[in-house]
């Protein structure tokens, strides 16, 4: 079997949606500037009162035996890198050589060790694993040595939901009723918002705890927008709420700052969503900067590389909880790892509505857990009936 083509395609279609899809946004590092701080959450293009337009671009690696592997969604910059630089490495080659391909892509694109280039490499790697699983008629988690368990616990990640107290309480209740035993909420305010921002951040956490009590694990996400003093101060104020972790309080390159925070506060510190490769995560481990590593499989180097990150973490007291946009990759990887190392999966509720809008069956938790699938590869298929246009 040989790789015959490497191509990208874009799907467009409609998704049911009543009212505004994006109700609120998270705090961002650029919000230190007033004009950006005042920006709203953005919106999807509305087609009718009950539908919005969605689109996604995907990578497909096809072989001369009719077996293909797919990964995505990816963006236009990744498309350009794949088509311009990575595709020639793959054409005519044996698709089972996943490790060789990764090493060749990394060595060829040595100026792209982070960011969009590594995201493009990640997409190729995930598509190759999907192809390999389909060719062997096995789920990827079995090829990786799993399953290690009969289900994976999930947490509801609430990016995009309203932060008004009454809306937060209602949403929390619905998540508990759906069976979730953990949830993460996103702060909207940073040091630039002063005392009122502190109060609103605390109000959010108090509202959640008052609604769900202390039997539900609660995480909070700062999305790289705090400072070391602000994080230490906020961690002290939040300690009474017994958070499972505080996520990404600092910019990703501030490893020393993370180490200072981790040493100063009782609450576990999570991060690494915007870090890349085993080398980047090794620095975080060496500096004792984080208690929980959060590589995104579609960004940090793909399944092949996150396996190595997991191996690094396994010889420390650090756990791995991947950031997740491409749910299929995370579920398969976690099913191949022990629960002590990878205890829980992120389910970005709203983003997965978009990212899985064209699937025949969406990969979503059942009563708060993901269960293994017997489907080959990464376990998802597109439903052509949900596609209005393919280009």
Pairing of strands 345-348, 319-320: unpaired
Q: Is 323 a catalytic residue?
A: yes
Torsion of CA 223, 225, 227, 233, to 10 degrees: -70
Among candidates 279, 273, 307, 337, which has minimal Cα distance to 99? 307
Among candidates 48, 54, 57, 67, which has minimal Cα distance to 22? 54
Torsion of CA 145, 146, 152, 154, to 10 degrees: 30
Strand partners, 50: none
Determine the Cα–Cα distance for residues 106 and 100; give it in Å rounded to an integer.
Answer: 10
Give the active site residue among 111, 274, 287, 323.
323
Name the residues annotated as catalytic.
323
């Amino acid at each position: 079997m040989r790789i015959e083509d490497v191509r990208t395609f874009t799907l467009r279609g409609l998704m049911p949606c009543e009212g505004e899809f994006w109700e609120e946004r998270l705090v961002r590092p650029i919000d230190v500037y007033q004009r950006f701080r005042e920006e709203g959450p953005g919106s999807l293009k509305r087609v009718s009162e009950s539908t919005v337009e969605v689109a996604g671009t995907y990578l497909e690696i096809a072989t001369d035996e009719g077996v293909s592997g797919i990964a995505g969604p990816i963006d236009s910059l990744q498309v350009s890198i794949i088509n311009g630089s990575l595709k020639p490495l793959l054409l005519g080659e044996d698709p089972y050589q996943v490790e060789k391909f990764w090493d060749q892509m990394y060595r060829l694109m040595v100026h792209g060790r982070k960011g969009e280039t590594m995201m493009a490499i990640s997409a190729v790697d995930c598509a190759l694993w999907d192809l390999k699983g389909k060719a062997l008629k096995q789920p990827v988690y079995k090829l990786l040595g799993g399953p290690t368990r009969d289900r994976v616990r999930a947490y509801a990640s609430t990016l995009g939901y309203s932060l008004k107290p009454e809306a937060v309480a209602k949403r929390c209740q619905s998540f508990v009723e759906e069976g979730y035993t953990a949830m993460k909420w996103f702060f909207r305010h940073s040091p630039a918002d002063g005392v009122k921002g502190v109060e609103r951040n605390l109000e959010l956490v108090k509202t959640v705890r008052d609604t769900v009590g202390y039997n539900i694990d609660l995480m909070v996400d700062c999305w790289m927008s705090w400072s070391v003093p602000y994080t230490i101060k906020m961690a002290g104020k939040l300690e009474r709420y017994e958070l499972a972790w505080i996520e990404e309080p600092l910019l990703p390159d501030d490893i020393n700052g993370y180490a200072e925070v981790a040493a100063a506060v009782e609450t576990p510190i999570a991060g690494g969503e915007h870090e890349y490769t085993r080398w980047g995560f090794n620095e975080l481990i060496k500096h004792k900067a984080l208690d929980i590593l959060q590589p995104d499989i579609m960004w940090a180097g793909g399944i092949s590389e996150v396996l190595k990150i997991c191996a690094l973490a396994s010889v420390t007291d650090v756990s791995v909880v991947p950031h997740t946009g491409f749910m299929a990759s995370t579920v398969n990887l976690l099913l191949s790892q022990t629960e002590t190392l990878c205890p829980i999966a992120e389910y970005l509720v709203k983003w997965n509505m978009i990212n899985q809008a064209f699937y025949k069956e969406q990969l979503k938790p059942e009563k708060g857990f993901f269960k293994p699938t017997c489907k080959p590869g990464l376990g998802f298929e597109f439903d052509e009936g949900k596609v209005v246009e393919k280009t």
